[in-house]
A = this chain, B = another copy of it.
Amino acid sequence: MNIAVLGTGMVGQAIASRLDDLGHSVVVGTRDPQATLARTEPDQTGNAPFAAWLDAHPGVELATFADAAARAELVVNASSGAATLEVLALAGADNLAGKVLVDIANPLDFSAGFPPTLSVKDTDSLGEQVQRALPETKVVKTLNTLTASLMVDPRSLGESSTVFVSGEDAAAKATVVELLESFGHDDVIDLGGIESARGTEMLLPVWLRLMGSLGTGHFNFKVVR
C-alpha cells in the first residue's frame, strides 16, 4: 500500500520503518524537507537527526506533508498532539479526502512541566477534533496507548496485550485492524465511534505515572476478560 507517515519523530520513524519492512511504499511527511535534512544535531530527547535515519532506510522517501498525503492511500498522523491540527491543515483536506487517517497523537500539554496534562479531554478528544476538521476523511484513532517500539512490535513484550480502535467508518477500522495485525497485534478491541477516543486519550495520565513507577515505557495494557 502507498502510505504517508506525517511526522519525523520517534513514532513516525518507528511506524515508517515497520511499514517499509512489511513491503509498503512509505513517504514520510514533514513541514520542510530541506530543513529536516539539514538538522545535524540530535533532537531534544537525544535521538539521532532524521537524515541519519533516512540514510538507513533507503526505501523511504521524504516529502512535504501535502505531497506525502497526496500520494498516499492511507495516512498516519504521527505528529505531536500540539501540532496535529496544523500538520493536517498543511497536509490538506483535499489530499486527505476519502482516505483512512490513522491518528496516533495524544493531546499532551507540557506547558506546566511533567507529567503533562491533556489540552482536550472528557467532553471532547483530539480524535474528534481531527474528524471534525476533516469530515471527508475516515479517522481511526489507535496506537496512542503504548510506546513507539511496542506499537510496531508488540510481541517483544513476550505475551499478548491490547490495543484499541475508535472511528466512525467500519471499513476503515477493518483496514486498520489488518495493519495492526501485520505489526503483531493479536488483541484489538473496537471501542466504537471516534467519541471513544476520549477513553484512550485519557489513559495517558496513568500511562505516564506507570512509566515513572516502572522506570520504563516498555509495557502495555492487556484487557483481561
Contacts and interface: CB of A to CB of B under 8 A. Distances in A.
A218 interface: yes
Interface in A102-161: 117-118, 121-123, 157, 159-161
A116 to B, nearest CB: 10
A202 interface: yes
A221 B221 contact: yes
A191 B203 contact: no
B214 A225 contact: yes
A209 B131 CA distance: 19
B206 A190 contact: no
Contacts of A213: 189-192
A17 interface: no
Given A191-B213, A213-B192, A208 B219 contact: no
A112 to B, nearest CB: 8
B191 A199 contact: no
